[in-house]
Structure 1
């Protein structure tokens, strides 16, 4: 994981263990949305683009300039909290298949967790220029289309594509990536 002092904005990815499709119901999506909203308010996370897929998330993020926090700490806490919440929901629904996968993944976990929902890391890639930022924005927003979930990017409810198309009803507050330095 590389975080650089001269980079403000990062493209990040977090993937569910074994690419298991956890996000198949609204309550699971809500865990991610609510947790990211918390990070925006309490941890100074700025979200410039995002997509929540069935088994992974992609984001373009930064921290506010006044934030004393580190991006790696924010994502560590985010993943720790959402792991607990997702596991709790899976237990309520008696989703034994998912629980078994996540329990097996935790066997060698050095943190001694009973369940491991997320793969290690969040794979930050610094966005150094506008061309790379546009490429990642396109990649994020086209993900649901490429996976056959929707016909147009802005139709995927759990994405910032709607924001960039001028819609106001996206679940997460987004800061336009093109207005960061204005």
Structure 2
């Protein structure tokens, strides 16, 4: 199969990156710290805005916006994955060979994918509400006033009963 990526200068993209054989290693120490460092290192050399991100044990989702004259998200992912592989202190392969990307078309598409990212830890059963997951930019967006702190919480929790 010949997969063709859609490269758009200044584009906004949704990504899914998965670990090799879905091994739950991304939120373990020291891997999570190496992953954070890799993102910071790449951002300094190849600017990008991280609109939203969530890191789960076996995969991550994020939305990036690239500079107006730049479309090269593949190099950024190669560098991030390479740094984690080299410095993550895991003796087996860490990543699936590819990643999945989707070019976001408009504000509605961006909002739908951001909601998907933030709800993902709840969907997978790690937490009862997005604000409880530590490896996400959700709380950053709450502080910016983009989401209420209780967004995406389970309405059937005992402390939410009767408050509809």
Could you tell me which residue of structure 2 aligns to residue 179 of structure 1?
none
Could you tell me which residue of structure 1 aligns to residue 28 of structure 2?
25
Paired with 2:79 and 2:49, the residues of 1 have a C-alpha distance of 16
Moved over 4 A (4+): none
1:157 and 2:119 equivalent?
A: no
| Structure 2 contact 55–135 (Cα < 8 Å) conserved | yes
Between Structure 1 and Structure 2, the one with more helix by share is: 1
1:33-182 aligned within 5 A: 33-65=36-68, 67=70, 70-86=72-88, 89-90=89-90, 99=91, 102=92, 116-166=93-143
Paired with 1:14 and 1:146, the residues of 2 have a C-alpha distance of 17
Q: SS of the residue aligned with 1:165?
A: helix
Paired with 1:18 and 1:7, the residues of 2 have a C-alpha distance of 33
Q: SS of the residue aligned with 1:58?
A: strand
Task: Tell me the TM-score normalized by structure 1.
Answer: 0.71
Structure 2: gaps (5+ residues): 145-164
Paired with 2:115 and 2:29, the residues of 1 have a C-alpha distance of 24
| Structure 1 contact 7–126 (Cα < 8 Å) conserved | no
Could you tell me which residue of structure 1 aligns to residue 155 of structure 2?
none
Structure 1 residue 10: deviation in Å?
0.2
Structure 1: gaps (5+ residues): 91-98, 103-115, 168-182
Of stretches 150-159 and 2-11 in structure 1, the one that deviates more from structure 2 is 2-11
Task: Tell me the TM-score normalized by structure 2.
Answer: 0.78
Paired with 1:18 and 1:80, the residues of 2 have a C-alpha distance of 17
Structure 1 residue 143: deviation in Å?
0.8
| Structure 2 contact 27–57 (Cα < 8 Å) conserved | yes
Q: SS of the residue aligned with 2:77?
A: helix
Per-residue CA deviation, residues 5-42 of structure 1 (Å, 9 max, x unaligned), is 36610001110000000124242211111111112222
